[in-house]
Amino acid sequence: VAGKEYSLTPKKVPLVKTRYRTIKTKIPVPASLAVLKRLRKFEPRSMSGQPPVIWDKAKGCQVWDAYGNKWLDWSSGVLVTNAGHGRKEIVDAVVKQARKNLHNYCFPSDLRARLTEKLVKASPKGIDKCFLLTTGAESTECAFKLCRTWGQKVGGRKKIGMISFEGAFHGRTLGAQMMGGIPALKDWIVNVDKAMWQVPFPDGYWVEDTRFETFLAKLKAQGVTPDRVAGVITETYQGGNASFAPKEFMQKLRAWCDKHKILLVMDEVQAGFGRTGKYWGFEHYGVTPDLVCCGKGISSGLPLSCVLGRDDVMDQYAPGSMTSTHTGSPLPVVSALASMDIIKNEKLVQNAARLGRVLHRELKRLQKKYPDRLGTVLGKGLVASLHMVKPGKKKAPDGDLAFAVVERCIEKGLMLFSPVGVSCVKISPPLCINEAQILEGCKVVAEALDEVLAEGA
Ligand SMILES: Cc1ncc(COP(=O)(O)O)c(C=O)c1O
């Protein structure tokens, strides 16, 4: 899970000049080193796993630095700018609001009413209420608390457990990491809550057995009985590798939760707001969760998250006892209102579905070319993940190859964030991308892979 630190030695790279990309300096840019080194000095080492490019401005699917380089963005930040970077409607709304009122925190506001109503109305039937927060981790923490409180209400003091999935990521705070399924990330906790259990996520590649019966068997093997379970939380697709569970599995999970008065929580922090070619990622499964955690793409930029859910679950706490200082902070709220309008008006969900098919077709072609190094391509819509593996070993992740591909793509003017889940090159452009930009990006990924493999990676 540990990432790699990028070199701060400028490298001479071939010049690039296309409609969507310009690279005219060494990378990292020598003139940017002073800032990069200051960051290394004043920030914790954990922050040095980010590509050494200093963004100066961004618009739509393009990112510029201050030195004449231009990237085609396939990161959306980290899946944040679903509507696109620097959208005029969002910028105008934020500027207008900033001039008007920044201070309406612990008092009711029209903006908060507008956004919570809009989010509930964008949700399926059965989702009645919305609680606004700031980060994705806060939303999963909040869902955890709601589940645990609910469990005790319907099943007494023993019904407090949470089931989650191996490989899952729900954020970096205590509860979120205890629910997470990456052992290295929670090693520091030592005394992890005993009522937290993980089971394999049935992605069909890393975990071939996708039967629901196996889920039940894995619980049984850990001594878990449904009367001790308050909630099941899962990312709609696993962020680490863009993998989905089979529809049938999720439907059986939904039925099992209903049968045993267990809440089903979908962490849509990555999957929501059109990313997967549907407005909500869980629509692919034909199920409605009891609670939905949102973040990232909710606002296309400013920090905002929320929990959406059934009113009987959301209304458990007395007035004043589930709040947050920045709930409904005006600038993120107007950003989200404008972003949701853009996604609707420009039919970006449909665009993600249509261009997602093009993206996945091209990436699958690439996978056929390098089946022994590109183990599989997963994802739906405008999220994809290239799973790099050691030569000929379908199940042996190759983090070095993934890192080399990301680094080379950036040198060629295609912006990606660092590999995730150790060995995955993750692709997640803004949803306003066009077909030419998809095809050009795929060409760059193919070139990068050709080159680093030819160099012996
Ligand atoms: C699925 C998922 N849940 C939760 C989080 C945590 O969100 P944040 O970083 O805003 O706390 C993330 C962040 O990457 C995520 O991908």
SS (H, E, C) 399-452: HHHHHHHHHHHHHCCEECCCCECCCEEEECCCCCCCHHHHHHHHHHHHHHHHHH
Is the pLDDT reported for residue 220 higher than 90? yes
Per-residue pLDDT tens for 48-67?
999 999 999 999 999 999 99
CA of 348 to the centre of ligand 1 (A): 22
pLDDT of residue 394: 86
Q: How far, in Å, is the centroid of ligand 1 from the Cα of 374?
A: 26
3-state secondary structure of 126: coil
Count of CB atoms within 10 A of residue 158's CB?
Answer: 14
Tens of pLDDT along 229-246? 999 999 999 998 999 999
Q: Which residues contact 122 (CB under 8 A, 6 or more apart)?
A: 279, 340
How far is the C-alpha of 444 from the C-alpha of 270, rounded, in Å? Answer: 24
Cβ contact 159:228 at 8 Å? yes
Among 338, 292, 333, which Cα is nearest to 92's?
A: 338
Q: Please give the pLDDT value at position 106.
A: 81
How many angstroms separate the first and last alpha carbons of the chain? 20
Atom 13 (ligand 1): residue with closest C-alpha? 171
- Residue 171 φ/ψ, nearest 5 degrees: 120, 180
**Using an 8 Å Cβ cutoff, are 433 and 384 in contact?**
no
Contact 164, 232 (CB under 8 A): yes
Which whole-number Å values give the CA distances from 256 to 211, 213, 265, in the listed order? 14, 11, 13
Strand partners, 263: 231
Nearest in space to 144 (alpha carbons), one of 237, 232, 223: 232
CB 287 within 8 A of CB 105: no
Instruction: Identify the pLDDT of residue 3.
Output: 75
Q: Which residues contact 230 (CB under 8 A, 6 or more apart)?
A: 147, 148, 150, 151, 152, 155, 159, 160, 161, 162, 262, 263
**Ligand 1 test: best mutation among 170, 324, 424, most atoms within 8 Å of CB?**
170
Q: Rounded to whole angstroms, what are the CA distances from 28 to 3, 7, 263, 399, 405?
A: 18, 8, 48, 21, 16
Residue 101's pLDDT band (boundaries 50, 70, 90)?
A: confident
Task: Tell me the mean pLDDT in the region 145-158.
Answer: 98
Q: What are phi and psi of 130, to 5 degrees?
A: -140, 130
Whose C-alpha lies nearest to ligand 1, atom 8? 136
Taking CA 448 as the corner, what is the angle to CA 442 and CA 453, rounded to the nearest 5 degrees?
130
3-state secondary structure 302-351: CCCEEEEECHHHHCCCCCCCCCCCCCCCHHHHHHHHHHHHHHHHCCHHHH
Reference 85, options 359, 302, 350; nearest CA is: 302
For residue 138, give the ligand 1 atom closest to its CA: 11
Quick one: CA dihedral 312, 316, 318, 321, positive or negative?
negative
Per-residue model confidence (pLDDT) at position 392: 85
Ligand 1 center–CA 265 separation, angstroms = 14
Listed range (27-41, 47-61, 101-115, 443-457) with the worst mean pLDDT: 101-115
Amino acid at 278: K
Reply yes or no on whether the pLDDT at 130 is more than 90.
Answer: yes
**324-334 confidence digits (pLDDT tens):** 998 899 999 99
> Which one of 270, 291, 293 would you pick to mutate in the ligand 1 pocket, going by the greatest count of ligand atoms within 8 A of its CB?
270
Task: Please state the pTM of the whole predicted model.
Answer: 0.97
Please report which confidence band the pLDDT of residue 14 belongs to, taking 50, 70 and 90 as the band edges: very high
* Mean pLDDT across 95-123: 91
- Reduced to 3 states, what is the DSSP secondary structure of residue 80? coil
DSSP string, 143-181: HHHHHHHHHHHHH-TT--EEEEETT----SSHHHHHH-S
pLDDT number for residue 371: 93
Q: Which atom, in ligand 1's list, is nearest to the CA of 78?
A: 14
pLDDT digits (tens, 9 = 90+) for 262-318: 999 999 999 999 999 999 999 999 999 999 999 999 999 999 999 999 999 999 999
Residue 155 is predicted with a pLDDT of: 98
pLDDT at 147: 98
What is the spatial distance between Cα 12 and Cα 33, in angstroms, rounded to a whole number? 15
Instruction: Write out the DSSP string of 381-403.
Output: TTEEEEEEBSTT-TTSB-HHHHH
The mean per-residue pLDDT over the stretch 371-384 comes to 96
Helix axes 399-411, 435-454, angle to 10 degrees: 120
Q: Look at phi and psi of residue 338 and say left if phi exceeds 0, alpha if psi is from -120 to 50, else beta.
A: alpha
Rounded to whole angstroms, the Cα distance separating 457 from 75 reads 24
